[in-house]
Amino acid sequence: MDSTTEISNRLVPRAFGDLRGWIDALRIEGELHEIEAEVDWDCELGTIARRAFGNGDGPALLFDNIEGYGPDDDVWCRKVFTGGMSNYSRVAMTLGLPKDAPVRDMVQAVRHYLNQQVAPVEVETGKVKENIHLGDDIDLYKIPVPRWHREDGGRYINTYQATITMDPDTGVHNVGLYRGMLGEKKNTLPVLLWRAQHWGIHFEKWRQKGMKMPVAHVYGWEPSMSFCASAPVPTGVCEYDVMGAMRGEPVPLVKCETNDLWVPADAEMVIEGFIDDDPTTFEMEGPFGEYTGYFGGDQGPKHVTQVTCVTHRDDPIHRGTLEGTLPKMLNENSVTSSVQRAGIAWNVLERAGVPGITDVHCPAANNGTTLMIQIHQTYRGQAKQAAAAIWGSNSAHLRYKNIWVVDEDIDIHDYGALDWALAYRVNAAEDDIIFFPSTFGSLLDPSTRLADRDPMLYGTGKWTRMLIDATVNLDFDPEEQYGGNRYPSMVIPHDQDQEKVDRRWEEYGFKPDK
């Protein structure tokens, strides 16, 4: 029985109903902190989130009292929820696992769900239709959108939403997560649209037809929505189908008011509109405190969602998040990416036919930019085969710049073990460090020259990727002085000695192992 089959027997998919059901579940589990003190949307809210998130050990946050968005103000929305996925225990809850599940189990759960599909169902209406704003009634500034960082180019509304687009040829929807801010007008939403991303591919198809691209930005629903929106779900698979598998039942969808897109019926809020390729419609966007921990994207004229309708529930809750991973400062993207990107990579390796994969890990500190692969090595070149399979896949667009491959005696979740393997199983003169130059990469990575990161000119960034092959080198000849092995023996106690000590451990005065 393979590992994904084994984990599937322990998963308990759970439908929370909507964002409020998710918040209630977090409250019951002691995972939520509600802030009733008045908070300024301008940088104070973001700074609170930065401190509270900590190193992936902080609570989810619900802000109930935001300056300028009180009960006497003419606004649509008064609350902001953030941090719902900023630690592993809440990711485990989302995936139908116990809160204390190891990261490897979460990775296996992601692998399982990506291979399952539960199609959505279309319904006539939903709670998101309780309020409908059209024409001159549209005013996005009636939403308490934070300015998360002082250097941000504006108030970023699209940080942990789901952006819905549709392939005009097939009608298949894509659910993605792309940044966007409040515009110069009350009904515009400038966005960062890259050609290499899924909605960029859709946009090009609409452009070639001479049509504007319909779009819907969805804020606040079950945690599976933003989790799947931010994951590199394989091409040809609709995120709604994966969301259905994660929650154990179909996603109920309702049709937008001003375009033909379908959105979760009980979302907190939906902003509908169209994106034009006419440069005269562009507005300034950026910079933004990006996942790299740097301000990225730079300020410049960008595509704009021309808003045609806003629908929302009564007293809606705005869903957003603080971006930007720093040393010992994680966030929702950090934590979810580490699980998602490892699961995706493992599936890529399996589909490519790379044998012997025993574990895959992406440390949260780098959002999947570095990938660790543990293998049972049976032939030389196996590590290079693994790296080539990853780098040749479309999932490598923004991730997997650097790859480590180690043998199965190295714990890829332990930096100390990796450092030991780097010290004593890597010799650059033996081709243990391989460079793969001038590949596509992230436009937001400041280790790439700014001139090579022009999205309008290149559509993608430019990376030289690196493999660290820290496996035992099978090119080495067996040596007589090593007892016919390629490497000398390791200083590990013999089985009979270890068994004796284990048996007498408490007799020595030590506490029993857990």
pLDDT digits (tens, 9 = 90+) for 36-69: 999 999 999 999 999 999 998 999 999 999 999 9
Q: Does domain 352-470 have CATH number 3.40.1670.10?
A: yes
pLDDT grade, residue 395 (50/70/90)? confident
- According to the model, what pLDDT value does residue 3 have? 60
514 — pLDDT class (breaks 50, 70, 90): low
Tell me whether strands 288-289 and 295-296 are parallel, antiparallel or unpaired: antiparallel
**Neighbouring C-beta atoms of residue 500, cutoff 10 Å:** 12
Looking at the DSSP bridge assignments, the partners of residue 189 are: 305
Average confidence (pLDDT) over 301-306: 96
Under the banding of pLDDT at 50, 70 and 90, the label for residue 288 is very high
pLDDT tens, 9-29?
899 999 999 999 999 999 999
Interval 295-310 mean pLDDT: 91
Contact in structure between 291 and 325 (CB atoms under 8 Å): yes
Q: What percent of the chain has pLDDT over 70?
A: 99
pLDDT at residue 278 above 60? yes
Q: Which residues contact 44 (CB under 8 A, 6 or more apart)?
A: none
pLDDT, tens digit (0-9, with 9 covering 90-100), for 313-363: 999 999 999 999 888 899 999 999 999 999 999 999 999 999 999 999 999
Question: Rounded to 5 degrees, what are φ and ψ at 437?
Answer: -80, 160
* Residue that wins the pLDDT comparison between 451 and 94: 94
Residue 178 — left, alpha, or beta (φ > 0 → left; ψ -120 to 50 → alpha)? beta
Return the amino acid letter for 389.
A
Q: Which of 306, 196, 204 lies closest to 259, judged by CA?
A: 306
CA distance readout (Å), 301 to 194, 235, 287, 295, 340: 13, 29, 11, 17, 32
How far is it, in rounded angstroms, from Cα 252 to Cα 126?
9
How is residue 389 written in tokens?
């399979």
Q: What is the mean pLDDT of residues 203-231?
A: 96
**pLDDT score of 194:** 85
Tell whether the torsion through CA atoms of 95, 96, 97 and 98 is positive or negative: positive
More confident residue, 8 or 176: 176
pLDDT band at 460 (very low <50, low <70, confident <90, very high): confident
* Parts of the chain belonging to CATH 3.40.1670.10: 352-470
Please count the other Cβ atoms lying within 10 Å of the Cβ belonging to residue 305.
27
Amino acid 9: pLDDT: 84
Residue listed under structure tokens 């399996």: 350
Examine the pLDDT at 228 and tell me if it is beyond 60.
yes
* Residue 34 in this model has a pLDDT that exceeds 50: yes
> What percentage of the chain reaches a pLDDT higher than 90?
86
Q: Name the amino acid, one letter, at 292.
A: T
CB-CB contact of 278 with 147 (8 Å): no
Q: What is the mean pLDDT of residues 77-105?
A: 96
Q: Give mean pLDDT, residues 165-177.
A: 96
pTM: 0.92
Calculate the CA 359 to chain-centre distance: 19
Segment holding 425, helix H or strand E: helix 415-425
Tell me, what's the pLDDT at 1?
46
Residue span(s) of the chain under CATH 2.30.110.10 come to 3-319
Region 184-213: mean pLDDT is: 94
State the pLDDT at residue 4: 73
Domain over 3-319 is classified CATH 2.30.110.10: yes
pLDDT (mean) for 175-193? 97
**Integer CA distances (angstroms), 18 to 14, 173, 221, 313, 358, in order:** 11, 20, 5, 11, 36
Token pair listed for 144: 């308490």
Residue 369 pLDDT exceeds 70: yes
309 pLDDT more than 50: yes
Question: What pLDDT is stored for residue 8 in this prediction?
Answer: 83
Higher pLDDT, residue 469 or 233: 469
Res 453: pLDDT: 82
Q: What is the mean pLDDT of the chain?
A: 94
